[in-house]
Amino acid sequence: MSGRHPVAVIIGMMGAGKTRVGREVAQMLRLPFLDADIEIEREVGMSIPDYFAQYGEPAFRRVESELIARTLSDFDGIFALGGGAPMTPAVQDALAGYMDEGGRVIYLQADPKEAMERANRGGGRPMLDGGDANARWMRLYEQRDPVFTALANVHVRTHGSTPQMAARKVMNMIEERVVHVDVAGGDDYNVRIGEGAMNHLAGVLGPGAHRIALIHTQPVQRHSDRARALLRQAGYEVSDIVIPDAEAGKTVTVANGIWERLGREGFTRSDAVVGVGGGAATDLAGFIAATWMRGVHYVNCPTSLLAMVDASTGGKTGINTTGGKNLAGSFYTPAGVLADTTTLASLPNDIFIEGLGEVAKSGFISDPEILRILREHAAELRAFDGASLLGSPLEDVVDELIERTVRVKARHVSADLKEAGLREFLNYGHTMGHAIEKIEHFRWRHGNAVAVGMVYAAELASILGIIDDDLVVEHRTLLDSLGLPTSWNGGSYEDVLALMHRDKKARGNRLRFVVLDAIGHPIHLDDPPADAVEEAFRRIAG
C-alpha cells in the first residue's frame, strides 16, 4: 500500500473486546493504537451517549464515517471501530477501498454470551438503551454478523480466549503472508502462510456448508484435532476420515471407501471437504471434493513443506493407478489453502528436506532469488529441527521460501489451470522423478525423486548443448548442500524409458521434457535423440 494506512482494522460486536485486544496487538507489534469511539468523543467534545441523546444516531454516523475515512488514509497502526460502524454504507465503501490496497479488516468473533456480559458491564452503549439489553444485543447481532462476516477479509474467533490469547491470534494473522491465485477459467483463492493460518478455516468455508468431511492421516492427528475443534466451534458437523499415510492413501480403493461413507452420511453438494496432511492427503481430499456430487467446496491445510509449496496449491487433484502416479484426477481449485507453519514444528528433518526439492525447482525455473536464499542458508536448512523452528531466524527464511515458491506456482497456474502450456514448466524434474517413484514403489519421497529428476534434465540439456556444464554443476552442488540426492541407480534404463513414455507430457510415442536453457527460463524439449536420453540416465546412475 502507498501512503499511510492502518496495519489492521478491527471490527466486531459491542463487548467483543476490540479495544482491549487492539491495544494488546499494538503493544506486541510496537505500533500506535486508535479507538474510533474515543477519537469521536475527543472530536465532538462529549461522550457518545450524550451526542446520541442531543443529535441522534444519523448525525453520529456521519461524524463516525468522516473520522474513519480520514484515519484509513493517514494512520499506520491498529485501528478499532465502534460496533455499528461497519453497517454504514460509507464506512463499508471506505473499508473496501482499504482492503483493495492490501489492508486487513479483522472481524473479532466473540462468543455472544461473553460479549453480552462485557457490553452490559461496560455501560455507555446507547444502542442497548430501552428495554432488555440482551435481547437488543442479539437483535443487533443477527443483523450485523452476516454483514461483518462478508465484509472482513480476516476472521478471528475468540471464544474462551483471554485478551492476550486473542491478541496473539490477531497478531499471527496480521503477520501472515497471503498469495492470491487468480485463476483464468476457474475460481480465485488465497494461500495463507504463517503461524495460526488454520484459524481462517471457518472463514474460508463460509456459512453455507453443514457437514465437513475432515480427511487426514494418522501421523498428523494433532493438527487434525485442531482443525476439528475449529470446525466444531464454528457449528459444523464433522465426519472424521482417516486415510493411510503417504501414497498408500491415494488409491481408488481408499477413494471408493470415502465415497461410500459420504453417501451413507448424506453429504450433499452444499457440504464440504477439508484435507489435513502432506501432499498425498491434500491430493486425495481435492479428488474427493472434485468428484463428489460433481464438485463440492474444499480447503487444504497442508502440514509438510512439500504440501505447502506444491501439492496443496494449484488445483491438481488425483490418485495413483497401477499404471503410474496421478493418472486419474481432475483440475479443481480449492476455496483456500491454509499453510499453518506451526505444523512444521512437528516435521521430521528428512520430510522437511524433501520439500526443499520443490522449492529449488521453483528457483531454477522462475525465481533466482530462491536459489540465492537456499545457497545462503543451506547449512541451517539441512540441519532443520522442527522443535526449534518457531520464533527462530530460520522461521522467517522458511516463510519467505514458501511464499516465493507459492508465487511461482500461482503465476503458472493463473495463466494455465489445465496444464496446456505454461504450467507444464512446473514439471521440471518430474518426468524422471515420477519414473523413480514408480520403480521404487513410492518408497522414495517425491521431493527427493524430483531432485534427481532435475539433475537428469540438466545433464540431458548439457549433452545437447542447450546449457553448459557449469549449470549442471550448480544443480548438483546446491541440491547436495541441502541434503537432497543427486543420483539414483535403483532400476534399469529400459524400465525408466517405458515409464517416461507414459508421462503426462508425452505426446503419442514421443518423449517430452522440460529443460532449462538458462536459470529462470525453462523450455520444452520434444523427442530428443535416444542416445542423449540414455547418456543422461547413465550420468545420474552414479
Consecutive H or E run containing 194? strand 189-194
The answer to whether the annotation marks 282 as part of a ligand binding site is yes
Check the annotation: does 314 bind a ligand: no
Q: Which residue is associated with the grid cell 475468540?
A: 158
Answer yes or no: is 315 a known binding residue.
no
457 is in an annotated binding site: no
- Residue 311 in marked binding region: no
Q: Is 118 annotated as a binding residue?
A: no
160 annotated to bind ligand: no
For residues 101 and 34, the answer to whether their CB atoms sit within 8 Å is no
Q: What's 420-540's CATH class?
A: mainly alpha
Distance CA 435, CA 491 (A): 10
Annotated binding-site residue? 18: yes
83 carries a ligand binding annotation: yes
> Given this model, what pLDDT does residue 504 score?
58
**280 carries a ligand binding annotation:** yes
Residue 35 is assigned to a ligand binding site: no
Q: The C-alpha cell of 77 is what?
A: 497502526
70 assigned binding-site residue:
no
Is 303 marked as binding a ligand? yes
Residue 169 assigned to a binding site: no
**17 assigned to a ligand binding site:** yes
Which of these CATH numbers, 3.40.50.620, 3.30.70.580, 3.40.50.300, 3.40.50.2300, describes 8-174? 3.40.50.300
The reply to whether 440 sits in an annotated binding site is no
Q: How far is CA 113 from CA 15, 59, 134, 251, 329, in A?
A: 10, 30, 9, 46, 46
Domain boundaries along the sequence of the chain: 8-174, 177-347, 420-540
279 is in an annotated binding site: yes
| Residue 291 annotated as binding site | no
pLDDT per position in the chain (542 positions), as tens? 446 899 999 999 888 888 999 999 999 999 999 999 999 999 999 998 899 889 998 999 999 999 999 999 999 999 999 988 999 999 999 999 998 888 899 999 887 877 777 766 655 555 555 556 677 778 888 889 889 988 988 888 887 778 888 898 888 888 888 888 887 666 788 899 998 899 889 888 887 788 999 999 988 999 999 999 999 988 899 999 999 887 777 888 898 899 999 999 999 988 999 999 988 889 899 999 999 888 899 999 999 999 999 866 767 788 777 776 666 778 888 999 999 999 999 999 999 999 999 999 999 999 999 999 999 999 999 999 999 998 889 998 999 999 999 999 888 877 655 555 567 898 999 999 999 999 998 889 999 999 999 999 999 999 999 999 999 999 999 999 999 999 999 999 999 999 998 875 555 578 999 999 999 999 999 999 999 999 999 999 97
Are the folds of 8-174 and 177-347 the same? yes
Q: What's the angle, vertex CA 411, arms to CA 405 and CA 413, rounded to 5?
A: 100
Contact 434, 468 (CB under 8 A): no
520 carries a ligand binding annotation: no
Is 355 known as a binding-site position?
Answer: no
pLDDT at residue 317, rounded to an integer:
84
396 annotated to a ligand binding site: no
Euclidean distance between CA atoms 468 and 518, whole angstroms: 9
Q: Is 246 annotated as a binding residue?
A: yes
User: Please, what is the Cα angle at 401 between 399 and 404, to 5 degrees?
Assistant: 105
Query: For the CA atoms of 347, 348, 349, 352, what is the dihedral angle to 10 degrees?
Result: -40
Report the CATH architecture of 177-347: 3-Layer(aba) Sandwich (3.40)
530 marked as binding residue? no
| 514 neighbors 525 (Cβ within 8 angstroms) | yes
The pairing of strands 297-302 and 154-157 is: unpaired
CB 461 within 8 A of CB 525: yes
Show the 3-state SS of 231-259. Answer: HHHCCCEEEEEEECCHHHHCCHHHHHHHH
Residue 451 labelled as part of a binding site: no
Expressed in angstroms, the distance from the first to the final Cα of the chain is 51
